[in-house]
Structure 1
Amino acid sequence: MSRRITIYDVAARAGVSISTVSLAMNSPTRVSQAMRTRVYEAADALGFEPKTEAVARARRGVGRIGVLAPFSSYPSFYARLNGVFAAARDHPTEIVLFDHRWVGAASPLLSSLPRSGGRLDGLIVMGVPMEQAVADRLRESPMAIVLVEGRHDHFDSVRIDNVAGGRLAADHLVERGYESFGFVGEAQRSHRYRSPSEKRLQGFRERLEELGKLLHPQNIALIDLHADPDTSTHGVMPRLLRPPAALFAHSDTLAARVLREIRSRGIRVPHDLGLMGFDDSELATSLDLTSIRQPLHESGKAAVELLLDRLRNPDAPEREISLKLQLTPRLTTATHS
């Protein structure tokens, strides 16, 4: 009978201390990417299996689903999480949350989960890009994987068409009679990933051009959403050198910040400026803000259903669910004349 591979064997092969191996497995954000890669490659080569996997196998009847998302930075992910809870309520399933701060940035935790996440039966990854090396590791793990607002050929996914959302915004503002336009979105944090903001801007610009309108580059403002909310949109209007008749913000949260900024400058909405957001959240309802509704709650439910189907049928073909967007017109884009 072959000897069980231990953490000491992994440490010896990687040429690191056992504490480094332990951190790489259990607290990956405390270890550099290079060191994590070194440890994981050694673990893979040896066929190391954490003891927690034995515990996981013993409790398959209950099942544990992890959800990795930037909960602390984007309110929309809480709405998705409510959908996860609603779908899991009727199943003997525990939900384990992992917070990842930035949309579009790679997650050290995600890269470690094939080894440190043995206690999970499945994982829902929301808004975090799937790098190929990480995808390869996850495919070799026993976990079922579902992506929300992400796509990879080898995993099930739930998504919306953000480009179509931008086109929908352009159609609405042109139909309302606006003649000049601006966009306020989130600055791209990594060029390895196309953010929802970038895709919505693409659709908005392309559709305006098709309709014979121009989105001038100086009427596009990309800001750091994670800066101080009191200052992050300060000066947006002066940067838009030709104040547009209508602004499309890539989220309701950003639209709310812009609304406060422009009102502080005596600009009236919708009399002087039309404004619309994206998500159709409770915030949009409170502000009477025109917004594009994306089915956030439904996306969380769909992700759980896909995951449970994958656990029941691990060899089934990968599935992609595309959820539809819907415009909700309100006071902030009243007909422009």
Structure 2
Amino acid sequence: MVASIEDVARRAGVSIATVSRALRGLPDVAAATRDRVMTAAADLNYVASPFAARLASGRTTTVGLVVPFVNRWFFAEVISTVESALRRAGFDLLLYNLGDEEGRARFFDVMPMRKRVDGVLIASLVLEDTEFEALTELSRPVGLLGLERHGFLSARIDDVAAARSAVDHLVAQGHRRIGLIGGDTDDPMAFTPPLHRRDGYRDALRAAGLSADPELEQLGYFTVEGGQEAARRLLGLADRPTALFAESDEMAYGALREIRRAGLRVPEDVAVIGFDDQPLSELMDLSTVRQPVADQALDVTTRLLTLIADAADELPRDPAVVLPTELVVRGSSVTSRP
């Protein structure tokens, strides 16, 4: 049977609190008492609970990660990277998947991680001022992934500029009728890519002297099936687009499938470019925008851990980091590569 702290207290003839103080090396324990406790612990092969030690020190060595979804590639990459970085640092991950509008409201109203974490990471959520206030009231360091806010650590890419680079590429190939397969900008979860990537798409059209056409903007909901259905609607237009920009590679995969199902050629009839550069994208010869998901997650996690360790009251001078993206040109958007 594994010995408990109560067993050590009985063997040493002291209280549980005294055992705890003696084992933690606190100064308010007499030398003779400490010796009795240490001898009793050794005799019983007692091993102190790491969880109890955390509570006694006031530290949880746990970081909370808040995500709007767990079943999408981006967030799966974030969760994996953050968990690995925390594990290497001796920290645990406490994951909160908001899931829907009700879950989000409940989370920010109740703040269930209160007193359970040493820091918080928020992934790709557009937050209201009241939600930022709730995070501030936690009195814990907070890191933002995918967005930026004064007074918080953050790591992100420039989604607007990255999306614009994708559409600029299509314009440079001679396309003037360019469709958008995007996420739902009215989604109550309000995560950042659908908003910013749509803005980049529109900026690129405007810069090329092209008018935005609401018919050319279709929702794909960041799924393969959604991308296929959006492509079906776009290809069914009387004046169909000659190129498609999908705000994620999953939606681009669906578009590729629908284009080929319609008997059209890629890129000769319809060019396609995605966003993310997921592992399958090279295999599918998909042009895309490569974003460093793992690098963003690792950067903000590392800096959050530093802030926790330093117990600093102020953020470092440059708390906001913007990582570069890269346009990756493959066969889905050009017949011959540069």
Please classify the TM superposition score into its range, dividing by the shorter chain length.
0.7 to 0.9
2:134 maps to which residue? Answer: 137
Q: Distance in 1 between matches of 2:234 and 2:278?
A: 24
Against the structure 1 CA distance between its residues 257 and 60, is the aligned structure 2 distance closer, same or farther, given a 3 Å change threshold?
A: farther
What are the within-5 Å matches in structure 2 for residues 248-267 of structure 1?
A: 248-267=245-264
What are the within-5 Å matches in structure 2 for residues 28-43 of structure 1?
A: none
Amino acid of the structure 2 residue aligned with 1:68: V
Contact 1:225 1:232 survives alignment (8 Å) = no
**Structure 1 residue matching 2:275: 3-state secondary structure:** strand
Amino acid of the structure 2 residue aligned with 1:183: L
**Structure 2 residue matching 1:125: 3-state secondary structure:** strand
Q: Deviations over 1:286-329 (max 9, x none)?
A: 31110101110101101211211221243223611111111111
TM-score by length of 1: 0.74
Larger radius of gyration: 2
1:76 maps to which residue? Answer: 74
Contact 1:183 1:221 survives alignment (8 Å) = yes
Contact 1:106 1:130 survives alignment (8 Å) = no
Q: Distance in 2 between matches of 1:204 and 1:231?
A: 19
**Structure 2 residue matching 1:285: 3-state secondary structure:** helix
Q: Which runs of no fewer than 5 residues in structure 1 stay unpaired?
A: 1-52
Contact 1:73 1:101 survives alignment (8 Å) = no
Q: Does 1:88 align with 2:99?
A: no
Deviates more, 1:191-200 or 1:61-70: 191-200
**Structure 1 residue matching 2:180: 3-state secondary structure:** strand
Q: Distance in 2 between matches of 1:69 and 1:94?
A: 16
Against the structure 1 CA distance between its residues 191 and 91, is the aligned structure 2 distance closer, same or farther, given a 3 Å change threshold?
A: closer
**Structure 2 residue matching 1:305: 3-state secondary structure:** helix
2:324 maps to which residue? Answer: 324
Contact 2:289 2:327 survives alignment (8 Å) = yes
Q: Distance in 1 between matches of 2:285 and 2:184?
A: 26
Contact 2:126 2:191 survives alignment (8 Å) = no
Q: Which runs of no fewer than 5 residues in structure 2 stay unpaired?
A: 1-50
TM-score by length of 2: 0.74
Q: CA RMSD in A?
A: 2.9
2:159 maps to which residue? Answer: 162
1:65 maps to which residue? Answer: 63
2:273 maps to which residue? Answer: 276
Q: In the TM superposition, what is the alpha-carbon distance from 1:158 to its structure 2 partner? A: 1.2
Against the structure 1 CA distance between its residues 83 and 94, is the aligned structure 2 distance closer, same or farther, given a 3 Å change threshold?
A: same
**Structure 2 residue matching 1:333: 3-state secondary structure:** coil
Q: In the TM superposition, what is the alpha-carbon distance from 1:59 to its structure 2 partner? A: 5.4
Q: Deviations over 1:26-72 (max 9, x none)?
A: xxxxxxxxxxxxxxxxxxxxxxxxxxx99864355661011111343
2:27 maps to which residue? Answer: none
Q: Distance in 2 between matches of 1:196 and 1:274?
A: 22
Q: Distance in 1 between matches of 2:238 and 2:100?
A: 30
Q: Distance in 1 between matches of 2:312 and 2:205?
A: 44
Q: Distance in 1 between matches of 2:113 and 2:93?
A: 16
Q: In the TM superposition, what is the alpha-carbon distance from 1:96 to its structure 2 partner? A: 1.8
Q: How many residues of Structure 1 are paired with residues of Structure 2 in the alignment?
A: 282
- Percent identity reads 27
